[in-house]
Structure 1
């Protein structure tokens, strides 16, 4: 397994953990009936931490498909290099650091970490050139 694929696998776990944390926070506030039901009625607000967990989960779900596609494309093209390894590393570690920064409500640094993680995707794409 390449380093990039290992980071992809680790990122899958990270995404799953984020989604589960957001779901647990929503269930804690909204209840098991809401979780098990069709969710047709407007949902109760989650509060600051639950809302941040939900938004962080949505955010990772927006970038993860791009990361996965970049890693898989680089793998299929046999374009692994220091750029693709650095990019996969930046994405994973950036996303890992991003979650607590978001949950704690730390501005600016969180945005900088998001940019670092996103730059990782572009490094992987640069390895294809």
Structure 2
């Protein structure tokens, strides 16, 4: 099995699990901070007046991972379909995985700020472009 497909599986598992920090944050909110009769809008998307900052960032980190991983996954599957895997696709996949994990951790912890977080996101986009180039070149 190609390493690119293994990385795609790890990304899918990460995306499937990144809801956990948000749910932990919502369920460990200080007593009384979320009104008992709060509509869903207070929970999803996170209301800045209700949730702690890291909980709101966890929600956005999950969305950001989904936003960028879906196009990347489609491109990896297309490259697999045309037997286009190469050293370029291998390193683009490895870089994408590292960048996406760094983005999520940095976003949730608040350590990745401007310009770091946008640069990490842009790096992921460049990995998508490289994968697209590999598909069209195959």
Q: TM-score range by the shorter chain?
A: 0.7 to 0.9
Larger Rg: 2
Q: TM-score, normalised by structure 2?
A: 0.79
Residue equivalent to 1:19: 19
Matched, 1:119 2:126: yes
2: distance between equivalents of 1:118 and 1:27? 33
Residue equivalent to 1:42: 41
Residue equivalent to 1:2: 2
What pairs with 1:70-109 in structure 2 (closer than 5 Å)?
Answer: 70-105=75-110, 106-107=112-113, 108-109=115-116
What is the Cα deviation at residue 40 of structure 1?
4.5
Residue equivalent to 2:47: none
Cα RMSD, aligned residues only? 2.1
2: distance between equivalents of 1:74 and 1:101? 30
C-alpha distance 83-22 of structure 1, shift in aligned 2 (>3 A): same
Q: Secondary structure at the match of 1:29?
A: coil
Instruction: Name structure 1 gaps, 5 residues minimum.
Output: none
2:117 aligned to which of 110, 118, 128: 110
Which has a greater percent of helix? Answer: 1
1: distance between equivalents of 2:28 and 2:78? 39
